[in-house]
Structure 1
Amino acid sequence: MATGSRPAEEQWNAIIRCDSDYDGQFFYAVQSTGIFCRPSCKSRPPKREHVRIFATCTEAIDGNFRPCKRCKPADVHSPDQEWIQRITDYIHRHCHEALTLDVLATVSHGSPYHLHRTFKRIQGRTPLEYIQDVRMDRARQLLADSGKTVADIGREVGLENSAYFITLFKKKTGLTPSSYRKLHDNSGT
């Protein structure tokens, strides 16, 4: 597809039908308004002779068109970002369970390799690092707000092995769980 080309018949039909199946495949710009949209935009159909087709938002912007305020084509999230968001939501809901890369790949219908690589690219850390951070945040909250034992808190955040929980907590926070609790109790917060 040439940048700024006239719409092919299939593209024109998608624009007229406001067909969301074509969202992300191309964007259309209207020369008379200076605006570009997704194919699914519910705005009034433009005249075909005023329409130009672009492969990406960047191309449309570079062609001096601005994003539509109705369909917000520049706010498109990639499928990978949405997939990783679903995985991070799952991690937050199930951090107390045994979570491995294989478990996450199974529940998210992906391969462990692709999940690991995509997760790290989008989140800036591996799934394991993310899980550990979520667990340690929850552990800090429980240490500050409950009288539960360190072993009970470890189990509640999904780390059955107390020694591993204490070691990981110290690695992430610089304090043992008991020291963290004492510091929090003495601070008066």
Structure 2
Amino acid sequence: MASLSFNEMWEKIMACDSSYDGLFYTAVKTTKIYCRPSCRSRKPKKVNVEFYATRVEALKAGFRACKRCQPDAGLSPQAELITRVKGFLVEHFKEPLTLQSVAQHAGVSPFYLERQFKEMTGETPRTYLEKVRLDKAVHLLTHTCLTNLEICYEAGFQSTSNFYKVFRTAKNCSPSEFRNIKEGT
């Protein structure tokens, strides 16, 4: 959670992004309820929101679990593994990660990790990592004046060619074109 800013987490809950479930929890001060990022309940005012890294932190702060998204429902061991791996990828997205190093951190074989990850999420750890990096790049393009090169490395891409390729594939435009569209120029 430390590598995600308040605004990035806010964007994830507004999009009901289930790929961040288990990585952080949203707590609403006025209702005293905490939810998963993917919860489809009515969205609160931004000023009434707090974010917690774990369910335990939210509970200690006096919040109760949402009845709609049930963030306190137990996860299977495979789901817990995938959640841990997602958290590791989000926290270490700037580093040059390999499937071997991620699997070693998780304590499983690369083959097992990739198979379980694909089965549970529909994507590989590499594509998930690219999505996290792309989300970070989009956030930086939208909210900062950094150059494309600075954004490339700040978002964790190891080369500019890979950054431009991934960005164009996902957004159908270059980072500069994306920024111009968002600025309305």
The normalised TM-score by structure 1 is 0.58
For residue 125 of structure 2, the aligned residue among 120, 124, 127 is 127
User: Residue 99 of structure 1 aligns to which amino acid in structure 2?
Assistant: L
Match of 2:165 among 164, 167, 175: 167
User: Amino acid of the residue matched to residue 172 of structure 2?
Assistant: G
1:22 matched to which residue of 2?
A: none
Cα offset for 1:76? 3.8
Which residue number in structure 2 is paired with residue 89 of structure 1? 87
Measure, in 2, the Cα distance between the counterparts of 1:106 and 1:154: 26
Q: Which residue of 1 aligns with 2:113?
A: 115
> What are the Cα deviations for residues 5-28 of structure 1, in whole angstroms up to 9, with x where unaligned?
xxxxxxxxxxxxxxxxxxxxxxxx
Secondary structure at the counterpart of residue 77 of structure 1:
coil
| Aligned residue in 2 for 1:145 | 143
Shift of 1:185: 0.8
The aligned amino acid for 1:95 is F
Amino acid at match of 2:134: M
SS at match of 2:184: helix
Give the ranges of 4+ consecutive aligned residues of structure 1 lying more than 4 Å apart after TM superposition.
none
Unpaired runs of 5+ residues, structure 1, are 1-74
Question: How big is each residue's C-alpha offset from its partner over 1:108-147, in whole Å with a ceiling of 9 and x where there is no partner?
Answer: 1110000000000111111111011111011000001111
**In terms of Rg, which structure is larger?**
1
Provide the secondary structure at the position in 2 that maps to 1:152.
helix
CA distance in 1, matches of 2:81, 2:168: 31
% same residue: 32
Aligned pairs, how many?
114
State the Cα RMSD in Å: 1.5
**Aligned pairs for 1:29-68 within 5 A:** none
TM-score, with length taken from structure 2: 0.59
Letter aligned with residue 158 of structure 1: G
2:153 is aligned, of 127, 139, 155, to: 155
Secondary structure at 1:171's aligned position in 2? helix
Is 2:93–2:156's contact at 8 Å kept on the other side of the alignment? yes
Question: 2:179 and 2:156 mapped to 1: Cα distance?
Answer: 19
Q: Any gaps of 5 or more consecutive residues in structure 2?
A: 1-72
Match of 1:186 in 2: 184
1:180 partner amino acid: F
2:99 is matched with 101
Aligned-partner residue type, residue 168 of structure 2:
K
Q: 1: distance between equivalents of 2:84 and 2:128?
A: 14
- 1:160 deviation in Å? 2.7
Q: Is the 8 A contact 2:94 2:157 kept in 1?
A: yes
Q: Take 1:104 and 1:160, find their aligned partners in 2: how far apart are those partners?
A: 17
